[in-house]
């Protein structure tokens, strides 16, 4: 293309925006001074709605790879698709990553500020940089203007369909790839609009081998697609393909960890890189998290529409300890994590030696919420008491003010309540998330008990006649003495049970069921339900000791 025509294209393209030269840019983004082997990773979500749990997964791995190698983990917001952008989504990404402690070394911070010398870390603020490299491609013959109208492109697609050809702008369907300067001038004179397309160098029937840290060696067709470089929506923003190459080059990323849906585009990205004289990147395409479909029981990709688990907000709302969720995600990535973690859930997750290579074996890791719950129970059971108390109170303060107020009204009592069956050989494992607090501790507090637990008692004891319940409670209270130790308490319980028509002799019960109301356990259930409003609780003796005589008597009367 002659230089005057080239300049006209550039002027049209930049619409008067001043763009820096490649040299100026290179100076502004010098190579990083990092130790040998340090990896610079980047997490690049688009602010198009809620944050996907896959973003947390990839973010966690990006952070690990960077930290373990003494490198840098960046967060870049890819907001070039202005039509799909959702207000507030950018802030949500930063704050939810923050909630998981996956705070980037560079880029948007949870408080909304930005950090780092290789910014801006928001793509819409890097417009001039992309234009510089787009122009560079034009100048070295690796980009050209395409004046094809929407109708012409549609006709090409229909033609491809009719001929059963692969869709796309390539080969004979690349309408403007080899046009003369005259054709371009005529189109410009006619005031036609154009987009800038990349001039591919590959051939679809030839293969290139991509070496991916997770997928291994992958053979893919060479790139012959002449993709748009700058969007046609008038925004002057780049397409993902150009943006990825320019940003990751300038930000000096050393390994591109991104979702595996991008794997097929890798030859295109290598083609663009080489056209700009940039060494193609190292890649690590991360597997997508899958789930068992509730209806078909088949494994499928987590769906934004169908699965609440896809949304990070769902996880935060459930309020499992963050450590447990991170541990679970690390376990999905590296199968040896499980053994390492189960040795001692108090270990610092940062001490686990994460390996990208081991991710190979976890093809589309399967989300199993039950396993996550187990992790969470272990984490909570192993947590130091003080930390546990703090987390419970922090959750209730925000989500259950009445319970929080009741807890704070008697801090000493609350301390005992929260410590019940924790520590020791076999700590309780019925708390999997902070949002379990009302269910697990609410009944200890009288107002909460009468409002939320007492109403369930009739239903829970619907199989026991009212007079039997009454007599059982009366008899229990007659033998109950708060100063009894556990053995004596149990003796008294047995006596009361027998007096009330229950037996601890299973054989006798089996032989003559009509003679008894039931087994000792059935008697204990009545007392438990009356005292707590629940069918399952920690040790009833321990509960009564903490509640104290007045409360126990009050509830059994």
Give the footprint of ligand GLU on this chain (CB under 6 A).
Answer: 44-46, 78, 244, 258-259, 262
* Between 10 and 263, CB nearer to ligand GLU: 263
Nearer to ligand GLU, 284 or 330 (CB): 284
Smallest gap from residue 243 Cβ to ligand GLU (A): 9
| CA gap 119, 202 in Å, rounded | 33
Q: How much of the chain is helix, strand and coil, in % rounded to 5?
A: 50, 10, 35
First CA to last CA across the chain, in angstroms? Answer: 97
Tokens of 103: 């705070």
Token representation of residue 470: 């009454």
Q: Is 144 exposed, middle or buried (0-12, 13-18, 19+ CB in 10 A)?
A: buried
Which is closer to ligand GLU, CB of 171 or CB of 228?
Answer: 228
Minimum Å gap between C-beta 45 and ligand GLU is 5
Q: Which is nearer to ligand GLU, 50 or 262 (CB)?
A: 262
CB-wise, 79 or 522, nearer to ligand GLU? 79
Do the beta carbons of residue 502 and residue 481 sit within 8 Å? no
C-alpha 319/C-alpha 519 separation (Å) is 39
**At its nearest, how many Å lie between ligand GLU and the CB of residue 258?**
3
Q: Bridge-partner residues for 75, per DSSP?
A: 43, 107
Smallest gap from residue 324 Cβ to ligand GLU (A): 26
Distance between CA atoms of residues 496 and 61, nearest Å: 59
Tell me the closest approach of the beta carbon of residue 56 to ligand GLU, in angstroms.
13
Q: Output 145 or 238, the one with its CB closest to ligand GLU.
A: 238
Contacts of 499 (CB under 8 A, 6+ apart): 475
Shorter beta-carbon distance to ligand GLU: residue 46 or 396: 46
To ligand GLU, the closest distance from the beta carbon of 48 in angstroms equals 8
- Between 44 and 89, name the residue whose CB sits nearer to ligand GLU: 44
Minimum distance between the CB of residue 84 and ligand GLU, rounded to whole angstroms?
A: 10
- Reduced to 3 states (helix: H, G, I; strand: E, B; else coil), residue 520 is helix
Tokens of 183: 């054709």
SS (H, E, C) 413-457: HHHHHHHCCCCCCCCCCCCCCHHHHHHHHHHHCHHHHHHHHHHHH
Q: Which is nearer to ligand GLU, 42 or 318 (CB)?
A: 42
Choice between 44 and 187, CB closer to ligand GLU: 44
Residues 6 or more apart whose Cβ sits within 8 Å of residue 462: none
Tell me how far, at minimum, the Cβ of 69 lies from ligand GLU, in Å.
19
Cβ 374 to ligand GLU, closest distance in Å?
31
- Would you say 253 and 72 are in contact if contact means Cβ atoms under 8 Å apart? no
| Shortest distance in whole angstroms from residue 286 CB to ligand GLU | 9
Cβ-based burial of 465 (10 A; exposed 0-12, middle 13-18, buried ≥19):
exposed
Pick between residue 89 and residue 461 the one whose CB is nearest to ligand GLU.
89
Minimum CB separation from ligand GLU for residue 312, in Å? 14
- Count helices and strands (H / E) in the chain: 25, 14
The span from the CA of 513 to the CA of 430, in Å, is: 34
The smaller minimum CB distance to ligand GLU, of residues 259 and 264, is found at 259
Least separation in angstroms between residue 261's CB and ligand GLU is: 7
CB 260 to ligand GLU: min, Å: 11
DSSP secondary structure string for all residues of 89-151: HHHHHHHHHHHTT---SEEE-TTS-EE-SS---BGGG-HHHHHHHHHHHHHTTSEEEE---HH
Helix (H) or strand (E) holding 390: helix 385-399
Taking the least distance from each CB to ligand GLU, the nearer of 49 and 423 is 49
Name the residue with the smallest CB distance to ligand GLU. 258
Q: What are the C-alpha distances in Å from 272 to residues 111, 155, 277, 525?
A: 36, 27, 9, 72
């Amino acid at each position: 293309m002659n230089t005057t025509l080239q300049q006209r294209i550039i002027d049209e393209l930049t619409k008067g925006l001043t763009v820096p030269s490649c040299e100026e840019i290179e100076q502004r983004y010098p190579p990083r001074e990092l130790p040998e082997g340090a990896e610079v990773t980047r997490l690049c979500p688009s602010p198009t709605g809620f944050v996907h749990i896959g973003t947390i997964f990839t973010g966690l791995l990006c952070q690990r790879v960077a930290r373990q190698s003494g490198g840098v983990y960046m967060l870049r917001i890819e907001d070039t698709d202005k039509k799909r952008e959702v207000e507030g989504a950018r802030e949500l990404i930063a704050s939810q990553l923050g909630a998981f402690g996956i705070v980037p070394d560079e880029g948007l911070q949870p408080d909304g500020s930005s950090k780092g010398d290789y910014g801006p870390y928001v793509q819409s603020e890097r417009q001039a940089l992309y234009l510089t490299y787009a122009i560079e491609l034009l100048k070295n013959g690796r980009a050209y203007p395409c004046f094809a109208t929407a109708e012409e492109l549609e006709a090409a697609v229909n033609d491809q369909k009719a001929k059963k050809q692969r869709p796309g702008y390539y080969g004979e369907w690349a309408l403007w790839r080899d046009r003369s300067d005259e054709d371009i001038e005529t189109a410009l004179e006619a005031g036609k609009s154009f987009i800038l397309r990349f001039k591919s160098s590959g051939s679809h029937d030839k293969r290139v081998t991509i070496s991916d840290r997770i997928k291994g060696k992958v053979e893919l067709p060479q790139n012959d697609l002449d993709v748009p470089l700058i969007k046609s929506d008038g925004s002057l923003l780049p397409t993902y393909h150009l943006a990825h190459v320019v940003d990751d080059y300038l930000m000096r990323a050393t390994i591109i960890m991104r979702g595996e849906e991008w794997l097929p585009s890798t030859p295109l990205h290598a083609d663009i890189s080489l056209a700009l004289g940039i060494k193609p990147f190292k890649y690590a395409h991360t597997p997508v998290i899958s789930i068992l479909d509730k209806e078909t029981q088949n494994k499928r990709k987590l769906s934004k529409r169908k699965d609440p688990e896809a949304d990070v907000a769902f996880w935060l709302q459930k309020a499992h300890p963050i450590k447990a969720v991170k541990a679970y995600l690390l376990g999905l990535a590296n199968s040896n994590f499980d053994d390492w973690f189960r040795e001692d859930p108090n270990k610092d997750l940062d001490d686990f030696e994460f390996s990208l290579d081991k991710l190979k074996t976890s093809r589309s890791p399967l989300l199993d919420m039950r396993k996550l719950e187990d992790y969470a129970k272990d984490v909570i059971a192993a947590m130091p008491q003080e930390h546990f108390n703090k987390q419970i109170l922090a959750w209730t303060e925000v989500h259950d003010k009445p319970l929080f107020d009741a807890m704070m009204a008697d801090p000493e009592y609350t301390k005992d309540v929260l410590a019940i069956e924790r520590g020791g050989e076999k700590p309780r494992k019925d708390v999997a998330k902070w949002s379990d607090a009302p269910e697990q501790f609410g009944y200890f507090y009288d107002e909460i008990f009468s409002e939320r637990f007492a109403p369930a008692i009739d239903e829970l004891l619907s199989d026991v006649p009212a007079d039997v319940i009454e007599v059982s409670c009366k008899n229990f209270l007659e033998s109950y003495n708060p100063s009894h130790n556990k053995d004596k308490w149990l003796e008294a319980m047995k006596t009361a049970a027998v007096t009330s028509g229950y037996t601890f002799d299973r054989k006798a019960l089996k032989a003559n069921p009509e003679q008894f109301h039931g087994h000792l356990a059935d008697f204990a259930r009545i007392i438990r339900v009356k005292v707590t409003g629940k069918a399952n609780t920690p040790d009833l003796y321990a509960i009564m000791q903490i509640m104290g005589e007045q409360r126990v008597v009050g509830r059994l009367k």
